[in-house]
Structure formats: structure tokens, C-alpha cells
Amino acid sequence: MSQPTAEIISAVAGYASASTAFIAAALWLWSARIVIPDPGQFPIVVVRPDLGPMGQPLGGTYVGNGYSEALQQWASNVSTAFGQQSRRSAWAAVSAGISAIAAVVAASIAIADLHLWF
């Protein structure tokens, strides 16, 4: 394989890598921006089921709200953990975006050097 052909393949691979890294960074950042409910905002709704034939539930009637200290504490812990994960994902997405930009710059330099061959 000649030197210019190898350079072309390398540049195309660099652009493909940068493009997919940029798409991954954008999707990653988008997923990190999902709003997580604040702790304590997990309501418990109590419903009396309306049973159909053979005991199959068909619906229900609202009875009221319930409360469980253990469930609220668990929900608070989960909400806090998801929030931390989301913030870390956002930073990872920013890092991936910077990496994609650096790859585009590197591929552009390779293309510019390739034009010197011709």
C-alpha cells in the first residue's frame, strides 16, 4: 500500500471515529439531562382492585394515599444516587465531546499533510 493511500485510510478512519464519538457524546449528555424527581416526591396511591373473571384484575377504585418511612428513605437514596450518576455522565459526555473535537483536528492535520504529497 502506498504512503498516500495509507494516509487517506487513516484520515477517513479518524473522521469516522470523531463523528461517532461526537454522536455518542451528544446522546450521553442528552441522557444525563433527564430530570430526576427530588427525594420525597414518590407518592403511594392505594387502590382497591376490581376483580374480573377468575380473579384477574380489571381496574381499581382509588382508596387514598399511603405512607411508608422505609419506602420514602429508599426512594430518597435512589433519587440521590441517580442524580450523582447523571452529573457524572454529563462530565463524561463533555470529555467525549472534547475527544471528538481533538480527533477532528488530528484528522484535519493528516488531510492537510496529505495534500502536500500531491
User: Where are the domains positioned within the chain?
Assistant: 3-115
Q: What is the pLDDT of residue 3?
A: 60
b/e 18-33 (16+ beta carbons within 10 angstroms → b): beebbebbeebbeebe
User: What is the pLDDT, as a whole number, of residue 44?
Assistant: 76
Confidence class for position 115, pLDDT limits 50, 70, 90: low
- Under the banding of pLDDT at 50, 70 and 90, the label for residue 95 is confident
Exposure of 17 in the CB half-sphere (CA atoms within 13 A): 16
pTM above 0.75, yes or no: no
Could you identify the residue written with the cell 411508608? 68
pLDDT in tens, 9-57: 777 777 787 788 888 888 887 877 777 766 666 677 788 877 766 666 6
pLDDT of residue 1: 53
Percentage of the chain beyond pLDDT 70 is 78
Sign of CA dihedral 40, 41, 46, 51: negative
Considering only residues 56 and 109, tell me which one the structure prediction assigns the higher pLDDT.
Answer: 109
